[in-house]
Amino acid sequence: MAVFPIILSGGVGSRLWPTSRALYPKQLLPLVSEKTMLQETARRVADPELFASAIIVSNDEHRFIIAQQMQEAGLKPLAHLLEPVGRNTAPAAAAAAAFVQTHDPEGVMLLLPADHHIRDIAAFHAAVAQGAKLARQGKLVTFGIVPSAPETGYGYIKRGAALGDGTYKVECFVEKPDLVTAESYLSEGGYDWNAGIFMFRADVILNEMRAFCPEIVAKATEAVIKSNRDLDFLRLQSEAFNGCPSDSIDYAVMEKTSLAAVVPVEMGWSDIGSWSALWETGVQDASGNVVLGDVISVDTRNCYIRAETGLVATLGVDDLIIVDTGDVLLVADRNRVQDVKKIVERIAADGRSEHQLHNRVHRPWGFYESLDAGDRHQVKHLMVHPGASLSLQMHHQRAEHWVVVKGVARVTVGDEVKTLHENQSTYIPVETKHRLENPGDEPLSIIEVQSGSYLGEDDIVRFDDVYGRKSDASAAE
């Protein structure tokens, strides 16, 4: 029987700020190739000889972005489960297992994060095939990365008795060690990095959870039973899932069970957990620099430089991380990048929004980005996908002026519906129902000029929306 891949896409990737942000985190970004991390993960488990269609678990806010990325990759998930609130990996695993049982009571699940990089796909598939044999025998399998250095940023797995074919029982899991301890692990041998990738039969993991974390499995299973369909998504029932204690699958089950087994593997793995990891996995030039975008570097060594908008120039610097996203410029010591999350915490504490949103904000119909803002005015660029439409809506405190830059727009203003072409425009008065649609087969670009006493994204009343969204700031436009 094929393995059910469970792709967990709930992280926020704060250590890769400012490129990764809460509403558009690292798994949704193209960081190591032209494909996003999520797309690379989904493609990795798209071999029909080994895998069933993937099951994605994410939060509500990312659902349309993920759906679009899967469509772009030519992949159709078996299901997309929406968590009403993040509760770590144990409740996600329990919900996924309960769902898998509706297809195969003894179905084998591969639980893997959406934001890991694996260079050697053949080695990954071979390890999964080994793990599947153990999982079908009732083992709870983890994949241990054969360490290449005394890494202090990962937890470790100590191998126990051999099970055959290069696999082992798990003697114990070890927390992230200090450098001296990590060096002793490498010299002693028999220790692997904990990659956070797991494999088990749905019935076995649920039985172990009933023994070690019964409240999680009870609430998560109830959330699946009481779930409801929303377009192509399966919404886990809020009241039940919210009642799950927050815990990782490592702490809740794997560190307690007697059924744990490890498959050691060398597959060019990285969790891309920091900017230094991207520097290590990237293509370095003769000076040790990894450069992306429009960059001029002179007498610069061992730096990661990412210019997402405009030119970045460096002179006489070493060992830096430089990331320019247009609205934020990060300059950090390459050896201090684990502390980037402290900046994110400071931004949140100061009541700012740069940890949440990019300048470009993605919506199910396309995106908008702010070009200018001032007292009583704001200018935006809107891009609407072919065949997509914004909601029929109204604003209490702002008027809008739309100018078509590229494409064809179908515009509803009050009771009038009209078609606008390039260089044509329309005006939407305050408290007037309006809608913007793209009836064409190419992207529609609009310049929107807002004016009024209040220009916040929460000034929106929806009357009709094809995506089922309601009037709130998180789903504006």
DSSP one-letter string for 280-339: HHS---TTS-EEEEEEEEES-BS-EEEEEEEEEEEES-BSEEEEE-SS-EEEEEGGGGGG
Beta strand pairing call for 55-59 and 79-83: parallel
Same domain (yes/no): 16, 64:
yes
The pLDDT, as a whole number, for residue 471 is: 53
> Within 10 Å of residue 149's Cβ, how many Cβ atoms?
9
* Contacts (Cβ under 8 Å, ≥6 apart) of 207: none
Three-class secondary structure of residue 57 per DSSP: strand
Angle, alpha carbons 325-331-336 (nearest 5°): 125
How high does pLDDT run on average in the chain?
94
In a domain, 406, yes or no: yes
Q: CA distances (Å), 472 to each of 103, 129, 374, in order?
A: 36, 46, 23
Nearest Cα to Cα of residue 57 among 36, 30, 33, 38? 38
Query: How far is the C-alpha of 66 from the C-alpha of 58, rounded, in Å?
Result: 9
Three-class secondary structure of residue 406 per DSSP: strand
Last residue of a domain, one of 270, 293, 322: 270
How many CA atoms within 13 Å lie on the side-chain side of 393? 26
**Residue 458: band (very low, low, confident or very high) from pLDDT cuts 50, 70, 90:** confident
In a domain, 152, yes or no: yes
- Give the pair of three-digit tokens for residue 318: 């070493």
- Give the pair of three-digit tokens for residue 284: 């370095």
In a domain, 355, yes or no: no
**Residue 370: band (very low, low, confident or very high) from pLDDT cuts 50, 70, 90:** confident
Q: State yes or no: pLDDT of 44 exceeds 90.
A: yes
Same domain (yes/no): 125, 14:
yes
Beta carbons of 226 and 219 less than 8 angstroms apart: no
Last residue of a domain, one of 349, 384, 408: 349
Instruction: Please state the rounded mean pLDDT for residues 281-306.
Output: 97
Share of the chain above pLDDT 70, in %: 98
**Residue 475: band (very low, low, confident or very high) from pLDDT cuts 50, 70, 90:** very low
Q: State yes or no: pLDDT of 141 exceeds 50.
A: yes
CATH number of the domain within which 468 lies: 2.60.120.10
Q: State yes or no: pLDDT of 106 exceeds 50.
A: yes
Q: Which of 245-259, 413-427, 447-461 has the lowest mean pLDDT?
A: 447-461
Same domain (yes/no): 182, 311:
no
pTM of the predicted protein model: 0.86
Domain encompassing residue 107:
4-270
Q: DSSP code of 367?
A: E
Same domain (yes/no): 26, 158:
yes
Q: In what order do the strands lie in the sheet with 329-333?
A: 290-298, 304-315, 320-324, 329-333
Summarize pLDDT for 219-241 with one digit per residue, the tens.
Answer: 999 999 999 998 889 999 999 99
Last residue of a domain, one of 203, 236, 270: 270
The pLDDT, as a whole number, for residue 467 is: 82
Same domain (yes/no): 335, 376:
no
Query: How far is the C-alpha of 238 from the C-alpha of 85, rounded, in Å?
Result: 8
Same domain (yes/no): 309, 416:
no
Same domain (yes/no): 250, 283:
no
Give residue for tokens 């806010």: 61
Nearest Cα to Cα of residue 341 among 17, 23, 88? 17
Summarize pLDDT for 339-359 with one digit per residue, the tens.
Answer: 999 999 999 999 998 998 888
Same domain (yes/no): 285, 258:
no
Q: State yes or no: pLDDT of 472 exceeds 70.
A: no
In a domain, 354, yes or no: no
Query: How far is the C-alpha of 200 from the C-alpha of 94, rounded, in Å?
Result: 11
The pLDDT, as a whole number, for residue 195 is: 95
In a domain, 216, yes or no: yes
Instruction: Please state the rounded mean pLDDT for residues 51-73.
Output: 94
In a domain, 156, yes or no: yes
Summarize pLDDT for 150-168 with one digit per residue, the tens.
Answer: 999 899 999 999 999 999 9
In a domain, 247, yes or no: yes
**Residue 470: band (very low, low, confident or very high) from pLDDT cuts 50, 70, 90:** low
The pLDDT, as a whole number, for residue 160 is: 97
* DSSP line for 416-446: EEEEE-TT-EEEE-TT--EEEE--SSS-EEE
Q: State yes or no: pLDDT of 97 exceeds 80.
A: yes
In a domain, 69, yes or no: yes
**Residue 446: band (very low, low, confident or very high) from pLDDT cuts 50, 70, 90:** very high
The pLDDT, as a whole number, for residue 476 is: 46
Query: How far is the C-alpha of 106 from the C-alpha of 103, rounded, in Å?
Result: 9
Q: State yes or no: pLDDT of 257 exceeds 50.
A: yes
Summarize pLDDT for 173-193 with one digit per residue, the tens.
Answer: 999 999 999 999 999 999 999
Three-class secondary structure of residue 343 per DSSP: helix
Q: State yes or no: pLDDT of 477 exceeds 80.
A: no
The pLDDT, as a whole number, for residue 473 is: 41
- What's the total number of domains in the chain? 3
Exposure string for 229-250, b = 16+ CB within 10 A, e = fewer: eeeebbbbbeebbebbeebbbb
Same domain (yes/no): 316, 414:
no
Same domain (yes/no): 433, 340:
no
Same domain (yes/no): 309, 390:
no
Same domain (yes/no): 8, 129:
yes
Share of the chain above pLDDT 90, in %: 87
